[in-house]
Chain A
Amino acid sequence: MGRRKILIVDDDRDQRAGLEIRLKACGYDVVGASDAVQAVSVVRKESPDLVLLDIGLPGGDGHMVLRRLHAMTPTSTLPIIVLSAMDPAAHRDRIVQAGAVAYFRKPADNTRLLAAIRQALGEEAPASAAPTAEAPGEAAVAADLATSPIHSTRLPAGLAPGH
C-alpha cells in the first residue's frame, strides 16, 4: 500500500499548515481545502483516504460537508474525523449521529489524534493500548502498571469481582 492521503478542511491557514507539517512528518500525503464547497470538490478530485473536518466553515458548515460526503456512494464510507474549537456539549452528539468516526476539540492532542487517524485508516496501532478520542464519561485507559508509582500491595488485578 502506498502513502495514504489525508484531506484537511479548515478555513484557518495557520491551523491547516500546522496539521500538514505534522501529518507529512508522519508519512502521509496531505491535501487541503478552506471551505465547504472546495472540500467536496477536492474529495472528488483527490480521493483522500481520510478527512479531517472543521465545523465552522464558510460556504456551508462541516455538518453539511459530512452529510454530503456520506450521501454520495463513492465517499459514503470515507472516514471523517471532526476537529472543532466549538464546545463539544453542543455539537458532539449531532456529529457522532451524522457518522463521524471521532470528534476532537481543538487543539487536539497530537498523540491521540494520530492514534485515531491510524485506527480509522486500519493501520496497525502500536502494541500498547493507544488512547483514542477525548471521551469524557469513558473508563480510563488502563495504565502500564509497571511504570506507575503505586505503593499499595493490593492493587486491582484488572477484573476484580464486585463487593
Chain B
Amino acid sequence: MRAPLPEDEHLRLETLHRYQILDTPQELSYEDLTLLASEICGTPIAAISLVDEDRQWFKSILGLDVRQTSRDVAFCAHAILDKEQPLVVEDATQDARFSDNALVSGEPGIRFYAGTPLVMSDGHAIGTLCVIDRVPKTLTPSERRALQVLGREVVAQLELRRHVDVLERTVVALERTQAELRRTQREQLDLKDQFVSHVSHELRSPLTPIYQFVTILLDEIAGPLNDSQREYLGVVLRNAHQLCAMIDDLLDVTRAQTGKLRVDRRRMRLDGLIVDLVSTLSISAGASGLTLAAVVDGPLPEVIADAGRVRQVLSNLIENAIKFTNDGGRITVHASVPPDQPGVVLLGVQDTGCGLSAEDGQRVFEQLYQAENAGERSRNGLGLGLHIAKTLVERMGGRIWVESTPGQGSRFSFTLPIFTLAPSLVPLLTPENLSHGTFAVITIDFVNQSGQAGADEARRAMHAAWESVQASVHPSMDVVLPRFGSAEAGETFVVVAMADDQGAARIVQRIEQRVARCDAVRAAGYTATLSRAVLCLPDLAPPADRDALAVEMAKALSRHLDVRCQQELV
C-alpha cells in the first residue's frame, strides 16, 4: 500500500530541495551516523533516506547496494507522516500496510523496520534515519532513544551544511562586490587621469602660440620695442609660464593619485644641479629685488634619486620663496650631510619672507591648501606644488618639512638618501660565493667620440647597453650597480662579480658579445671599453657578519673606483 502524502507535502518538498543534498556524493559524516545506527540497533541494514517527489534517495546506506527506490514501496514515506516519533514495524508480513510490499515479498525481504523522521528547523520532515532487518525484531526503549538522537544528529549535519553553504555564497558575493568596487574605483581614477591628460593637452595648445608670439615680439623679430612694451610683454610671458606650470601640477597630482607618477631613481650628484638651478633662478630672484645664493657643504656624496624630480622639488621651493619674500630679501639654498643623520643629504631653502603660522606650517603640504593671510601672491598657484613636492620626496625615500617664524621667514627642508654600495653587495655574500676569497670589479665605459648622438638617442642607446650588461650576469653571483646619472658623452656601468680572474674574464667576454650585438649602441656612435680587476675579500676575523663584510667590500670597491677616476683625470 502506497503511503498517503503528508499534509505539508508541497512545503516539505520545497524544504528538501532547499538543502540541495539530493544526488550529492557520499560523505563520511553521514556514513558514520548510519554505521552507528546499525551497530546500536543490531541490524544489518541502515540508511539515511530522503523522500523526494517520486523516489526515496539514500544519502547514506549500509548493507544494500542501491542509491534510490520508488516512493511507492518506501517504508520511509510512511515514517515521515508522524513527525513526533519513530515508525517501528516489528514484522512487515503481519502489517497490512506492508505485507504486499515488493521489498517484503521479494528482495531484500524486509521484516523489521524502524525509522525516525528527520524534522528540519522549519518543521518539515524530509526523510528518515532508518534501520532494517531481514528477520522480525523488537526495538528496546534505549535503542529507540538512540535512533532518535542519531536522527537529530543527521538533521544537525544537514543544517550545518546549509549554513556553511549560505556562508560560502555570502563570502563569494562579498568578494565579487569588493572586486567590483575596486574596479569601479580604478576605472574612475583612470577616467580622471584621461580627462586631466586631455584637458592638459587642450590647454597647452592655445598656450603655445601665446608663448611663440610673445617671444617673437620680445626678441624684436617683428621690430624694436620701447621699454614699456618690453615690460608689458614680460608680464604676459611670466603669466604664460605660470599657467604652464599649473597645468603640469594638475597632471602630476592626478598621476600621484593613480600611482602613475614616474620616479626614476639613480645614483646622482646634487652639486651641479644646485649650481645650475640657482644660477637659472637668480635671474627671476634678481627681477624681484632678491638675492639668491647657495651654500653647499661639498662635495656632497652621491644620492640615489631622480635628477629631474629633485630639480622639480627644489625649483618649486625656491620659486615659492621668491613669491613670498619682499623686495631686498634673501634666499639661501643649503645642502649638507647633517651630523645627526649621516645617511642622507639635507637640502634646505631659507627665506626672509613673511613666514608661516603654526597651523599653516602643518598644512602647507596638503593638496589645494593655501595660507589664508598670505596676501594676493598666494593666489598665483593651484596650491598643488608643495603637495607634489612631498609626494616626490617620499617616493625617493626622503622626508620634507618646514620650520617657520611668522614675520621672519621660513626654511623648507628635505632629505634624499645617500647612495651606499654595501646594501647592493649583501645578497652576494653566500658561503659558496665567498669560497674564492676574491671578488672582481668589471667596469664598462661607454664613450661617444662622434658627439653626434641626440639626448633621446643617447638615452635609448644607454638603456639598451644597460639591458645587455644586465643580461650577461648571473643574478645570484654578480650585481650591476645602480646607474650613475647619465651624460650624453657616455656612461660607466660597474659590475661586481663573486668570481676569480678566470670567472671575471668569462663575464667580460659575455658582456662584449652582447654589447657588440646591440644596434642602438652602435648606431648612436658609442664604443665600449671593458676592464676588470680582482680584489681580495676583506680579511675579517669571525664572527664577522655579512653586513660588516659588505661594508668592508664597499670600501675596497670605492678605493678601487676612486683610483680609476683619478687616473682618468690625470
Contact = CB atoms under 8 A, between A and B. Distances in A.
Pick the most buried of B209, B309, B558, B568: most chain A CB atoms within 10 A of its CB. B209
A2 interface: no
A12 B485 CA distance: 37
B69 interface: no
A137 B279 contact: no
A66 interface: no
A100 interface: yes
B299 interface: yes
A64 B273 CA distance: 37
A98 to B, nearest CB: 11
B213 interface: yes
Contacts of A100: 456
Contacts of A144: 279
A137 B251 contact: no
A45 interface: no
A155 to B, nearest CB: 6
Given A15-B209, A119-B454, A159-B565, A150 B216 contact: no
B566 A106 contact: no
**Main DSSP-derived SS at the A contact region:** loop
Contacts of A161: 561-562, 565-566
A116 B453 CA distance: 11
A56 B202 CA distance: 11
A12 B460 contact: no
A106 B279 contact: no
Interface stretch (B145-153, B289-297, B470-478): B289-297
Contact of B262 (A18, A85, A89, A147): A89
Nearest to A105: B204
Pick the most buried of B221, B272, B298, B455: most chain A CB atoms within 10 A of its CB. B455
Nearest to A81: B454
Given A100-B456, A132-B455, A149 B558 contact: no
Contact of A15 (B212, B264, B452, B455): B212
Contacts of A150: 275, 278, 293-294, 296
Contacts of A101: 454, 456-457
Given A21-B216, A149-B282, A155 B296 contact: yes
A120 B452 CA distance: 8
B307 to A, nearest CB: 6
Contacts of A25: 216, 219, 221
Interface string A107-149: 1001000001001101000000000110111111111110111
Nearest to A147: B279
B272 A143 contact: yes
Interface string B457-497: 10110000000000000000000000001111000000000
Interface residues of A, number: 57
A96 B459 contact: yes
Contacts of B292: 149
Interface in B236-277: 240, 244, 251, 255, 260, 262, 264, 266, 268-269, 271-273, 275-277
Nearest to A17: B209
B307 A140 contact: yes
A141 B307 CA distance: 11
A86 B204 CA distance: 8
Interface of B: 197, 200-202, 204-205, 207-213, 215-216, 219, 221-222, 240, 244, 251, 255, 260, 262, 264, 266, 268-269, 271-273, 275-280, 282, 291-302, 306-309, 311-312, 418, 452, 454-457, 459-460, 485-488, 558, 561-562, 565-566, 568-569
26 contacts: A12-B209, A18-B209, A21-B212, A21-B221, A21-B222, A85-B201, A96-B457, A96-B459, A106-B208, A107-B210, A116-B455, A138-B485, A140-B272, A142-B276, A143-B272, A143-B280, A148-B278, A149-B293, A152-B296, A157-B299, A160-B269, A161-B561, A162-B302, A162-B558, A163-B302, A163-B418
Given A107-B244, A136-B312, A148-B282, 8 more contacts: A12-B209, A102-B454, A133-B455, A143-B276, A143-B279, A156-B299, A162-B558, A163-B558
